[in-house]
Amino acid sequence: VSIALQNLGVSNKATGFSFSEDEARLRRFFERIHCPYHFHTVQGSLRVNVKIFDTEKRVMSEFNDKGQEVTEADVSAFFSLMEKEWEGTDILVVDGSVPPGVPRSIYKELILLAKEKGIKTVLDATGDLLALALEAQPYFVKPNREELEAFYGKAFKDTKEMISFGKSLLQKGIHYLCISLGEEGALFLTAEKCYQAKPVKILVQGVQGAGDSMVAGACLAMKKGLSDEDIFRYAVACATGSLLHPGTQLCEKEDLEAMLQKVEIINLEE
């Protein structure tokens, strides 16, 4: 998400765990893209993930490493690091998986700490990381259909059932729920509104990073103080822009500007 935000010209700082064997490489990367960072370094090496995109079927296969163990002392040190980062922060994004040894409640704890300081929180996670973090009532949540169905406990029989379940989550204190639906577009729920975005017709070059780009687009729109509909529009435009690029490349500012003109938003409650 930090990379996508940097591409969009949004000032941000990346935090998390860095691993000693690859610390210099990670530092060089963030310095190359001019993105501030503050990591807690632990022993070991960064995990390696392999993504294979079938250009004929437009399908991606993923082989993701779990990563190396993080100790309880390292987790405590990371929270101490975060205490130095709250000042001047207006949005905290917590997303992705966590290394072995990190408590599954870490996103919940970070969201609660941020809320105490008046910081808006954005959550993009799966499994018990998602389930536990939802208890903290994050401001913005971006699951995909499969992640939401796993939390629901079964597949949704139709869009109406998905929206109904989404509305029940909003009643628990979530402000925005953005559900990515792959080739079917996306849904965006607030307490009063329900929007749907139809997929933009493009030649998909890769799907890796579309979710991160969607989160970045929403953060940019929230930073600008835009309307609910435009927050959704920016999110979908950035996700679509990411699909234009192969490999691990994410949405660029030019992609956002081009896709904003093509995103079609429908208010399902009108």
- CA distance to 8, 29, 30, 121, 169, per residue, from 25 (Å): 23, 6, 9, 29, 40
**Tokens matching residue 184:** 């079917």
φ/ψ of 114, rounded to 5, equals -65, -40
Q: How confident is residue 144, by pLDDT bands cut at 50, 70 and 90?
A: very high
Boundaries of domain holding 147: 2-267
Decide: 13 and 37 in contact? Cβ < 8 Å: yes
pLDDT tens digit sequence for 226-261: 999 999 999 999 999 998 888 778 889 999 999 999
CATH number at residue 246: 3.40.1190.20
pLDDT tens digit sequence for 148-205: 999 999 999 999 999 999 999 999 899 999 999 988 999 999 999 999 999 888 878 8
Decide: 121 and 115 in contact? Cβ < 8 Å: yes
Q: Can you tell me the distance from the alpha carbon of 40 to that of 219, in angstroms, rounded to the nearest whole number?
A: 24
Q: By three-state DSSP, how is residue 94 classified? A: strand
State the total domains in the chain.
Answer: 1
Q: How many CA atoms lie within 13 A of 248 on its CB side?
A: 6
User: How high is the pLDDT of residue 188?
Assistant: 98
Q: Can you tell me the distance from the alpha carbon of 51 to that of 212, in angstroms, rounded to the nearest whole number?
A: 15
The predicted model scores a pTM of 0.90
